[in-house]
Amino acid sequence: MHPVTSWNLSTTSTQKTWPPTKTLMGQIAICNAWHRVVPGDTCQQMLNLFGLKSVDVFLDWNPAAKEDCEMLIAGYWVCVGVQRQVGDSNLEWETAQPAFSAPPEPTKYTPVTLPTADSSFAPTPSHGPMPSNCKVFHQVSADQNCNDLVSLYGYFSQQEFMAWNPALDGNCLGLWLDTWYCIGAYSDGDLPLPAHQTMKPTEGNIPSGYPSDCARWYRTTFDDTCDDVTLMFGSFSMAEFAKWNPSVFSDCSGIVSDAWYCIGRPGTPTTRTSGAPSLTRTIASTQPATTATAAPQPVQTPSPVREGMTEDCVKFHLQQPGDLCWSMASGSGISLE
- State the pLDDT at residue 75: 86
Q: For the chain, state the CA radius of gyration.
A: 29
- State the pLDDT at residue 16: 46
The residue type of 246 is P
**Contact yes or no for 140/289 (Cβ under 8 A):** no
Q: What CATH fold (topology level) applies to the domain 31-82?
A: Membrane-bound Lytic Murein Transglycosylase D; Chain A (3.10.350)
d(CA 321, CA 311): 25
Q: Which residues of the chain have pLDDT under 70?
A: 1-17, 85-98, 107-121, 154, 187-192, 222, 275-305, 312, 314-337
d(CA 283, CA 209): 41
The dihedrals phi and psi of 158, each to the nearest 5 degrees, come to -65, -35
Enumerate the β-bridge partners of residue 216.
264
**Contact yes or no for 323/221 (Cβ under 8 A):** yes
Residues in the chain: 337
Could you tell me the residue ranges of all domains in the chain? 31-82, 136-187+278-332, 192-275
d(CA 14, CA 115): 73
The residue type of 302 is P
| Chain mean position to CA 295 | 38
- State the pLDDT at residue 6: 53
User: Can you list the alpha helix ranges (DSSP code H) found in 165-283?
Assistant: 226-233, 238-244
Each as own residue / partner, the long-range contacts of residues 51-58 (CB below 8 Å, 24 or more positions apart, any chain) are 52/80
